[in-house]
Homo-oligomer: A and B are copies of this chain.
Amino acid sequence: MADPKFFDKQRALSLKEIAEIAGAALHSEADAGYMIEDVAALDEAGALDFSFLDNVKYKEQFKNTQAGACVIHPDQKDLAPDGLKLLLSPNPYKSYALVAQAFYPEHKPAGSISEHACIHPDAIIGEGCVIEAGAIIKEGVVLGEGCWIQENTVLGVSAQLGDFVRVGGNSTLSHCHIGSYSKIYPGVRIGQDGFGFAMDLKGHVKVPQLGRVIIEEHVEIGANTTIDRGAGPDTIIGQGTWIDNLVQIGHNVKMGRGCVMVAQSGISGSTVVGDFVVIGGQVGIAGHLTIGSGARIAAKSGIMRDVGAGEEQMGYPAIPLKQYMKQVALLKRLIKKDKGVN
């Protein structure tokens, strides 16, 4: 059970209610009235808990779970232990997510402006905003309805936020537009001038960075991530793209919609990334490239050339995933045969 010091649980739900929330089908209508009180992992769930099977790696846990009910893919229902009530869904993890959200809706304090925040009189603050202690809102900032600006965060001159934007603590935003429903985690830096300069033996010469950062709607930006503003064009993060912690986005980068970018990866300046691209952890993508929509880049890859739409790549420099796997296998065999004369 989630620690009540940190999380507020809502009322119990019947499996019928849960099926509706989950967009899932009850495997047996007889279970419709069964009451569920909480969500839990397979190995921790009890008779009043709802769980899920998504990653086959946890198949054994599923076979032995004590959960009252589970959501699974229809193909896997034969693995279910006797007595386990089932919901069937083409996307069990999404179904579980929706149910968990119903039990634990995000807690946002009621609209209030801390007396310890520092807000310029010219800033425009929408209805129902929460502004916490130590937040600093500069001249010309615009906040839409229901924004939540957490402690010690700085919104620089003229930053423009849509509705229901949440900005975590100790962040620094400037020269940016942030779309509605986007969520910025603690320690994020957005809008500082990028690494643009002319190298010169007498001293590098800064190129003024005259663009902005445009974050579209429903974007998430992980803790301590940095996104530089454009040099002239803007840096753009497309709608619904989710970025993890400690990521670097260089100036003029344009990311499409629905991308996923895992922790500690980075994209150099002026690269264009399509829609629904998945970028693994610690990936590096060089500047001035094009990554096609639907491409998938394995963790730790170094991308030095354009990647076509839908391609899977891995390696350093990255090559098509299948070729990389062949290379790994080949090297393994060569080492085995090798007599080691160096």
Residues in A lying within 8 Å of B, measured CB to CB: 2-3, 5-7, 39-41, 44, 55, 57, 91, 93-94, 96-98, 100-101, 103-104, 106, 116, 118, 132-134, 136, 140, 150-152, 154, 156-158, 160, 168-172, 174-175, 185-187, 189, 192, 195, 197-201, 203-208, 210-212, 218, 222-224, 226, 228, 231-233, 240, 242, 244-246, 248, 250, 258, 260, 262-264, 266, 268, 276, 281-282, 284, 286, 288, 299-300, 302, 316-317, 319, 323, 326-335, 338, 340-342
From B91, B133, B329, A136 is in contact (CB under 8 Å) with B133
From B57, B232, B331, A44 is in contact (CB under 8 Å) with B232
- Residues in B whose Cβ lies below 8 Å from that of A246: 224, 226, 246, 248, 266
Contact yes or no, B258 A204, CB < 8 A: yes
10 A–B pairs (Cβ distance < 8 Å), ordered by A? A2-B210, A2-B232, A6-B158, A101-B206, A199-B260, A203-B240, A224-B226, A228-B245, A326-B338, A329-B342
Contact yes or no, B169 A91, CB < 8 A: no
C-alpha spacing A204/B6, complex, angstroms:
24
Known: A100-B207, A187-B187, A246-B246. 19 other contacts (CB 8 A): A2-B211, A2-B232, A44-B232, A44-B233, A91-B200, A97-B197, A154-B186, A192-B222, A222-B226, A226-B245, A248-B281, A263-B266, A266-B281, A282-B284, A284-B300, A326-B340, A330-B331, A330-B340, A333-B342
Closest chain B residue to A331, Cβ basis: B327
Known: A2-B211, A258-B201. A172 touches B189 (CB 8 A): no
C-alpha spacing A157/B258, complex, angstroms:
32
C-alpha spacing A153/B106, complex, angstroms:
23
- Residues in B whose Cβ lies below 8 Å from that of A260: 199, 204
From B170, B212, B244, B341, A152 is in contact (CB under 8 Å) with B170
C-alpha spacing A44/B232, complex, angstroms:
9
- Residues in B whose Cβ lies below 8 Å from that of A242: 195, 197, 204
Stoichiometry, copies per complex: 3
C-alpha spacing A288/B56, complex, angstroms:
12
C-alpha spacing A210/B2, complex, angstroms:
5
From B192, B284, B326, A186 is in contact (CB under 8 Å) with B192
C-alpha spacing A197/B160, complex, angstroms:
27
- Residues in B whose Cβ lies below 8 Å from that of A175: 6
C-alpha spacing A338/B186, complex, angstroms:
49
Known: A189-B245, A281-B266, A299-B286. A222 touches B203 (CB 8 A): no
Contact yes or no, B263 A250, CB < 8 A: yes
Known: A134-B134, A185-B189. A288 touches B55 (CB 8 A): yes
C-alpha spacing A263/B330, complex, angstroms:
32
Contact yes or no, B281 A268, CB < 8 A: yes
- Residues in B whose Cβ lies below 8 Å from that of A263: 195, 226, 248, 250, 266, 268
- Residues in B whose Cβ lies below 8 Å from that of A317: 328
- Residues in B whose Cβ lies below 8 Å from that of A282: 266, 282, 284, 302
